[in-house]
Structure 1
Amino acid sequence: MTDTPLTKSCGDCGMCCKVLHISELNKDAGVWCGHFKKGGGCGNYEARPSACRTFTCLWLTSDKLGPEWRPEKAGFLMYAKDDGKRLNVVVDPGKPAAWKREPYYSRLKQMSQRAYDGYELMICVGDRRIVMFPSEDVDLGVLNTDHKVVSGYVERDGAQVPFAMVLSDAE
């Protein structure tokens, strides 16, 4: 998140009310929250859970993302995770290829350049996870919530080669 004041507002977007899982509300990812009012935002705004209170999508905080990146227009929202080391792109399951359209795909590819410095760019379409690298997109398939994704680069034959793998949370 940025220290500059927000100059954008959610307005009637509500994409986060659809695509995010909110455990406090028993709301699954990809389905509209029962409190969302089309064109009016949250019907439970004053009593909304902390997950909703603290969430801010990247479009709201970034002056580098124009109006075409507004989540309901783009068909996905973005937010930083793991102290900014991972950028999650959470796609509306009703528009699963939204992230592949232009101008989004080429700009996301540019953002994925940070993978060389240890950052991750994760595309989330429902339970499917795709790690985006500058040179390729690695589709890890449908993952359970107890799985962790690890990605980065390894050196092979003198070249940097991207990798992405799924670790299960073994007890």
Structure 2
Amino acid sequence: MSETASTPVLSKSCGECGMCCKVLHISELAKPAGQWCGVFRKGSGCGDYEARPQACRGFHCLWLTSEKLDAAWRPDKAGFLMYPDRDGKRLNVVVDPGKPASWRREPYYSRLKAMSQRAYDGYELLICIGDRRVVMFPTEDVDLGVLNPDHKLVSGYVERDGAQVPFAMVLSDVEEMVT
């Protein structure tokens, strides 16, 4: 099979993982986030691999595409999967709802904190536990609580009294207050 410019070259395989088949919402299958896909078969993966929708075909978690993440970071071992969006400006950490504190365990938490250093350069690290959202900064974690998944989030730093202070907010809330 030839690789295209948009298809990453993968040196790892999903194996028996399937975490994306549980935690992600797949609209083409009417599959809600946090529930196993009806065609996923534990131990063998997708039960309809050849006919899987484009959302599944095109998805590659960060563990698959990064040489920097070892076997401990395989999503089914870690209890969460990671993927970038917003043209690489946001790292989403989507947590298995059956293991909601998995991202806080070591070695994950300290490494995620190190990854969050990029917030100083305009990047975001977002923890998603069901509909709950936590924005991770190097100095603190801002828990925004349970949100409508369609609401847009913005985070970054503002200067206050000569210091850089992190902020995170839900844009829809701001729009509702203005109108």
Q: Deviations over 1:102-145 (max 9, x none)?
A: 00000000000000000000000000000000000000000102
Q: 1:75 is aligned with what amino acid? A: G
Q: 1:73 is aligned with what amino acid? A: K
Q: Does 1:16 align with 2:55?
A: no
Q: 2:72 is aligned with what amino acid? A: E
Q: Does 1:40 align with 2:44?
A: yes
Which residue does the alignment assign to 1:106? 110
Q: Is the 8 A contact 1:59 1:65 kept in 2?
A: yes
Q: Deviations over 1:136-156 (max 9, x none)?
A: 000000010221100000000
Q: 2:121 is aligned with what amino acid? A: D
Q: Which runs of 4+ in 1 moved over 6 A?
A: 1-4
Question: Does the residue aligned with 1:168 lie in a helix, a strand or coil?
Answer: helix
Q: 1:4 to 1:52 in 2, by over 3 A?
A: closer
Which runs of no fewer than 5 residues in structure 1 stay unpaired? none
- Which stretch of the first structure deviates more once superposed, 3-12 or 92-101? 3-12
Which residue does the alignment assign to 2:161? 157
Q: How many residue pairs get matched? A: 171
Give TM-score scaled by structure 2 length: 0.92
Please tell me whether Structure 1 or Structure 2 has the larger radius of gyration of its CA atoms: 2
Which runs of no fewer than 5 residues in structure 2 stay unpaired? none
Q: 2:128 aligns with which of 124, 128, 134?
A: 124
Between the aligned partners of 2:6 and 2:66, the Cα distance in structure 1 is 8
- Which stretch of the first structure deviates more once superposed, 2-11 or 82-91? 2-11
